[in-house]
Chains A and B, each alone.
Chain A
Amino acid sequence: MNSNSSVTDLCSTCNYFATCVYRQEREGPIQFCEMFVEVVEKHKEGYGGLIAILEEIQSKYGYLPQAALRTVAEKTGRSLVDIYGVATFYRLFSLEPRGKHLVSVCKGTACHVRGGPTIAEEFETQLGIGAGQTTSDRKFTLTTVNCLGACALGPVVVVDGHYYSNVKKSEVKGIISRSDVEEERYVIPADEQTFPLEVSCPRCNHSLMDKEHLLDNAPAIRVTISFDGHHGWLRLSSLYGSYNIESEYKLPHDRIVNFFCPHCHAELVGGSKCPECSAAMVPMIVRGGGIIQICSRRGCRGHMLDLNGVNV
């Protein structure tokens, strides 16, 4: 964000000018955009919709603006007190504007013993802010979290949904500058490179490779899935760039399915959302360090690959 421009002339709620569709379609300054009104309409029914509404608003604005909460109250007929209570209860939600990049340092038990607090401190000194704060140029927000579900890789740092594993104090500076300069560095165009990946469960670290079954002439990745009351296996091609799958049940297009580790039966979920369709991402550990995340929606090709120190 350009802090020199007079912020009041522009839409004051959205952190991400580049992605604001309302800006692109309009002339002149925008005081406030109505994007969240659509969001409310979408989830209006049912009490459980509240968190979904707040999540979506937050993912668009980076935080929950006061005016948005008031509109949610008005549109859903829920009292502002309840909405505010929910918004302040979950750590996921922020009522303060957040920086462009969200840095979450894990201070969970496993990461703690592997030096998570030192990493958190290093981020604090490098960014010059405390945990929970945002830099004055609105570029970074630093938070600490209690377990990201990838304990085997600790200490873990997540920047904008990208996982950094086994982070060392000396790497902190690099992580910061990298996320600042090139956001898209790790996204490899699928048609340019294909190579097989060997993956394991982020919880139990057990390999997910199925040597008996080949897909694209490489051992397949085997997971358990569940959707619509069905429960069965799914094999994914381990070739990066290939989207071939085999499954016990036919997967309807666009269906979001839940992924489980066939060994420890833990659900494979991280916190990140698919950059393409905003369904939940499914994280898996890549042998040799790093994390691959794939979209849980059938047919969506969203994925993110973070490899440790490997130049891809």
Chain B
Amino acid sequence: MVTLTINGVEVTVEDGTTVLEAARFLGFPIPTLCHMEGLSPYGACRLCVVEIGQEPKSRLVTSCTYRAEEGLIVRTASSQVMKARMMILELLLASCPQSKVIQDLASKFQVRQQRFRQEHEDCILCGLCVRMCEEQMMAKAIGFRGRGEKRSIGTPFDIRSEQCRLCGGCMYVCPACQLRCTYAEPDKAICGGCANIHPPCYIKEQFDDMMCYMDPCVACEIIKK
């Protein structure tokens, strides 16, 4: 058991608990994007930053991957944290402005401007789908490829993977395309994401690019007919 202080409140948690879990246990909200219960922590989106230690030696860490330590002092909403968080959201918004999940987070955290060039990426490389496929679906059909700016997610050789069971888990967790494939039922779509991106999902030749590994995509097939 370790005891740590979060926003001035002492809490004792089991060894190995992450700061995020401890803070949520106390009810302090920390936004997350690449974190999901049941999947291993990955620390890709940096949205869950918190400040640890005492000023002036404090620093920012990702709470989803940082394990609680004895005597750790954590602040989840200091001005430094808020500043970093807003910047991260602004950057995420720039790379994937069509994502409903990111839009919602941005508005929740009062991000009122977006000063960077919009990229309209299909993927923010949060790795949720990769972990979903491996850890929950036991398939390992998709994974990271390449590195640096060429890093992408997909199946080996960009062809339909023999391991994929078309469970749709990857699409379910994806914050960038979560709602795209409801296009066939526009009423159900909250944001109509797939219809709004340009060019729309269903006229793209390669659904692979859309982070849709279900080849052929059921929804898109309906549209094409």
Contact = CB atoms under 8 A, between A and B. Distances in A.
Are A and B physically bound partners?
yes
Interface of A: 66, 69, 79-85, 88-89, 95
Interface stretch (B29-37, B139-147, B200-208): B139-147
B156 A81 contact: yes
Nearest to B148: A89
B163 interface: yes
Interface of A is mostly: helix
B84 to A, nearest CB: 29
Contact of B143 (A66, A69, A85, A95): A85
A182 B161 CA distance: 44
A88 B157 CA distance: 10
B224 to A, nearest CB: 28
B147 A84 contact: no
B157 to A, nearest CB: 6
B140 A81 contact: yes
A81 B146 contact: no
- B: interface residue count bin: 10 to 19
Nearest to B162: A80
15 contacts: A69-B156, A79-B140, A80-B161, A80-B163, A81-B141, A81-B161, A81-B163, A82-B140, A84-B143, A84-B145, A84-B156, A85-B144, A88-B145, A89-B145, A89-B147
Interface in B127-162: 140-147, 155-157, 161
A69 B156 CA distance: 10
A79 B144 contact: no
B35 to A, nearest CB: 22
Interface of B: 140-147, 155-157, 161, 163
B146 A88 contact: yes
With a 10 A CB-CB cut-off, give which of A66, A69, A84 has the most chain B CB atoms.
A84
Contacts of A83: 156
Contacts of B155: 81
A69 B155 CA distance: 13
With a 10 A CB-CB cut-off, give which of B141, B145, B156 has the most chain A CB atoms.
B156
10 nearest CB pairs, A to B: A81-B143, A84-B156, A79-B140, A88-B145, A88-B146, A80-B156, A89-B147, A85-B143, A81-B140, A85-B144
Contacts of A88: 145-147
A90 B141 CA distance: 21
Contacts of B140: 79, 81-82
Contacts of A66: 157
Contacts of A69: 156
A85 B157 contact: no
Nearest to B143: A81
A265 B163 CA distance: 48
Contacts of B144: 85
A89 B147 CA distance: 5
A77 to B, nearest CB: 12
B143 A82 contact: yes
Contact of B163 (A79, A85, A89): A79
Contacts of B156: 69, 80-81, 83-84
Given A81-B142, A84-B143, 16 more contacts: A80-B161, A80-B163, A81-B140, A81-B155, A81-B156, A81-B163, A82-B140, A82-B143, A83-B156, A84-B145, A84-B156, A85-B144, A85-B145, A89-B146, A89-B147, A95-B157
